[in-house]
Amino acid sequence: VKSEGPKLVPFFKATCVYFVLWLPTSSPSWFSALIKCLPIFCLWVFLLAHGINFLVSHQSASRILAGLIFSAVGDAFLIWQEQGYFIHGLLMFAITHILYSSAFGMKPLDLKAGLLMGLVCSSCYAFLYSYLSGPFTYLVAVYIALIGFMGWRAVAGMQLCNDLWTWTKLSACIGAMLFMVSDLTIALNKFCFPVPYSRFIIMATYYAAQMLIALSAVESRDEEDFRKRS
């Protein structure tokens, strides 16, 4: 908390600015896009504050930074989703989930967690399927598969049963779950039925998810510091 907390102060301030201004979605503008993306920009700064050498030497951290960059672009597209840019935003976040999955890695494999995540994602798509039409029928399927895979890799890395987990792995796991909640709320609200307080739920879980995933990138730095102290 002492080492990472101060670096996150700009993120918390930017998030407060977003919720205080609460710009209407009915009048998209570059200003509203900036306010929406500002917390994600602050997470770029959070990772960059650990040093360029750290990002270059640790691929997981650099991939999370790249994911945050694509997320900001996706956020901007979604500001104009009613003008036909929803699919563009969907594509940007699909790339984000691929980058996050790559950052979390494939070890340990944990097939049980993968099976459970597969069942959850299949159930979600089965529920959404009757509400989907046109290209969204397969686009949503691909997107759910990608975010489900990302969630699997985040959960698999935690290893609670083996007592091998770290706070950063727990951070990645909770962040991935919150990201899934945020995107599921978007899907329900857009394709199925109006979700009460949908915008607050979507953005609160989304910002929390991105912060926690960004925090998970500092794990390799913690290991480095531990070796130096040893």
**Integer Cα distance of 228 and 222 in angstroms:** 10
Has residue 227 got a pLDDT over 50?
no
Residue of 113, 72, 121, 124 whose CA lies nearest to 96: 72
**What is the per-residue pLDDT across 4-22, written as a single tens digit (0 to 9) for each?**
889 999 999 999 999 999 8
Quickly state the pLDDT bin for 23 (edges 50, 70, 90).
confident
pLDDT at 229: 44
Average pLDDT over residues 195-215: 97
Tokens of 25: 């979605």
CA 180 to chain centre: 8
Quickly state the pLDDT bin for 219 (edges 50, 70, 90).
low
Please name the helix (run of DSSP H) or strand (run of DSSP E) that holds residue 40, with its range, or none. Answer: helix 30-48
pLDDT at 162: 63
**Integer Cα distance of 125 and 132 in angstroms:** 10
Kindly report which listed range (89-103, 146-160, 185-199) carries the lowest average pLDDT score.
146-160
Compute the mean pLDDT over every residue in the chain, rounded to the nearest whole number: 91
**Integer Cα distance of 87 and 14 in angstroms:** 26
Tell me the pTM.
Answer: 0.93
Has residue 27 got a pLDDT over 90?
no
Tokens of 108: 């340990």
Could you tell me which residue, 59 or 1, shows the higher pLDDT?
Answer: 59
**What is the per-residue pLDDT across 139-185, written as a single tens digit (0 to 9) for each?**
999 999 999 999 999 999 887 666 567 888 999 999 999 999 999 99
What is the secondary structure of 90-105 as a DSSP string?
A: HHHHHHHHHHHHHHH-
pLDDT at 12: 97
Average pLDDT over residues 61-87: 96
A 10 A CB-CB count for 101 gives 22
Burial 10-20 (b: 16+ CB within 10 A, else e): bbeebbeebee
List helix spans (H) across 105-135: 111-129
**What is the per-residue pLDDT across 104-138, written as a single tens digit (0 to 9) for each?**
999 989 999 999 999 999 999 999 999 999 999 99
Give me the residue label for tokens 């459970």: 116
